[in-house]
Amino acid sequence: KNDGWRWHLLTEDIEFSANSILEGIRIAYTPTAVLYDEQPVTFRDSWNQRFRWAKGFYQVFWHYGARLAKGVFTNPKGSRFVVFNAIIIVLAATGAMSTGVMIASSISSIFFCLFNYVMFMFLFGVLTTFVEWDSIHAPTRKKVLYMFTFPFFMLTYVPIALVALVKKCQWKPIK
């Protein structure tokens, strides 16, 4: 239909998905699909891979964001994820995602939000680890350790996302 693969941003899979949504093509979960992807083995390689993903997300947002946002009004069914993300942004900006009164300049509020995030990521990591226990090829002690380090690993996305705003990036294979 498209005369070959025409998506070439850093995250061509997200670009393809955004383009498909704009063309009204339904995207669905396929439980029998098997995915092979690169898995970095060092923190540096992981950082570089996630930096590329963040930069690629910004590229897709730049190229497709306005049309996706417009689609909320012209094709609400096809742009549910845009609506979902907009709701999350509004809830986060207003402080409604945290319990109680949140004062933006309050150090305690920042730590409260950070604590909630770490606890959520910990619970998410525990759930994922137990559900995928047999698929995780690591000794038991490492699986348990990873449940505790996962929230802090996820926090590294904050500096990665900030760096990706200003630093150039090229695709390089990971080891």
**Residues, the chain:** 175
- In percent, how much of the chain has pLDDT > 70? 82
Report which of residues 151 and 28 the model is more confident about: 151
127-145 residue pLDDT tens = 999 999 998 989 999 999 9
First-to-last alpha carbon distance for the chain, in angstroms, is 34
Name the more confident of 114 and 143: 143
Backbone conformation region of residue 64, classed left if phi is above 0, alpha if psi is from -120 to 50, else beta: alpha
Q: Are 55 and 62 in contact (CB under 8 A)?
A: no
Distance in angstroms (rounded) separating the CA atoms of residues 151 and 119: 8
Question: Rounded distance, CA 26 to CA 24, Å?
Answer: 6
Is residue 9 within 8 A of residue 59, CB to CB? The reply is: yes
pTM: 0.72
Opening angle at CA 81, ends 166 and 170, nearest 5: 30
Q: Look at 3-12, 92-101, 112-121, 122-131 and tell me which has the smallest mean pLDDT.
A: 92-101
Token couple for 161: 């996302």
Question: 60-87 burial by CB neighbour count: b if 16+ within 10 A, else e?
Answer: beeebeeebeebeeeeeebbeebeeeee
